[in-house]
């Protein structure tokens, strides 16, 4: 089975590599803006579905440019997409990647000496190269990737932070680590010093619930 990780996250790549999974990486670029009044669960489920659609579109564009690429996909392909957010105890406020220092401070102040949850949605989309008729004057047939199966899961982990001081937040922001991480911290890095305890999957907080994802892939085979 061919597996494609449609993500630019080095943390997700590292987790799947640790699991000795053979996969390719395909980065996708989508609009990740949360819609007005969109609930966190609806938001991340929409994100993973949108990323999967973008990945399929990229694959089909590659085929249309170079049909020899078809030889690389003799079996079905499973596309993995994932999205991770933090959620405050109100169940509505989403903690995303900080846009600047002030945004990071605002999130951290709400997380300080408090419990938040990390939610990750994962979608496995199995596609195959299928032939379809193009309705035009030539009535020719082309091959492209079409969805034959999709499954999603959402994993939640509780994270408790210690009380944070302004100096702690300043030092951490200056380290450069928070910029590309949901909630503005990395539990696998310097941010671990802020975590008093977790309840649930550690790898989920890193960015991909590994055991659950591997089970999802197995179920798709």
Q: Which residues are catalytic?
A: 83
Characterize 157-192 residue by residue with b for buried, 16 or more Cβ atoms within 10 angstroms of its Cβ, and e for exposed: bebebeebeeeebeebbeeebbeebbbbbbbbeebe
| CA-atom Rg of the chain in angstroms | 20
DSSP state of 124: E
- C-alpha to C-alpha distance for 141 and 134, rounded to whole angstroms: 6
Report which of 108, 88, 103, 117 is spatially closest to residue 168, judged by C-alpha positions: 108
Q: Tokens at residue 161, please?
A: 């932070």
Instruction: Give the integer Cα–Cα distance in Å for 137 and 149.
Output: 32
Q: Which residues contact 171 (CB under 8 A, 6 or more apart)?
A: none
Q: How many CB atoms lie within 10 A of CB 77?
A: 22
Q: Which residues pair with 198 in a beta bridge?
A: 159
Closest CA to 60 of 149, 147, 124, 143: 143
């Amino acid at each position: 089975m061919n597996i494609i990780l449609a993500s630019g996250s080095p943390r997700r790549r590292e987790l799947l590599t640790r699991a000795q999974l053979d996969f390719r990486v395909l980065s996708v670029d989508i609009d990740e803006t949360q819609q007005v009044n969109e609930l966190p669960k609806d938001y991340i489920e929409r994100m993973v579905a949108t990323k999967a659609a973008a990945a399929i579109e990229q694959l089909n564009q590659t085929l249309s440019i170079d049909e020899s690429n078809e030889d690389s996909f003799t079996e079905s392909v499973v596309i993995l997409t994932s999205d991770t957010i933090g959620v405050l105890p109100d169940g509505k406020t989403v903690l995303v990647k900080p846009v600047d220092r002030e945004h990071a401070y605002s999130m951290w102040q709400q997380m300080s000496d408090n419990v938040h949850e990390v939610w990750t949605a994962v979608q496995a989309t199995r596609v195959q190269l299928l032939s379809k008729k193009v309705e035009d004057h030539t009535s020719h047939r082309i091959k492209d990737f079409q969805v034959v199966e999709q499954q999603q899961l959402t994993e939640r982990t509780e994270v408790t932070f210690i009380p944070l001081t302004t100096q702690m937040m300043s030092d951490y922001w200056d380290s450069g680590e928070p910029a590309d991480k949901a909630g503005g911290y990395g539990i696998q890095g310097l941010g671990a010093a802020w975590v008093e305890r977790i309840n649930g999957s550690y790898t989920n907080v890193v960015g991909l619930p590994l055991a659950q994802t591997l089970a999802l892939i197995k179920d798709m085979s």
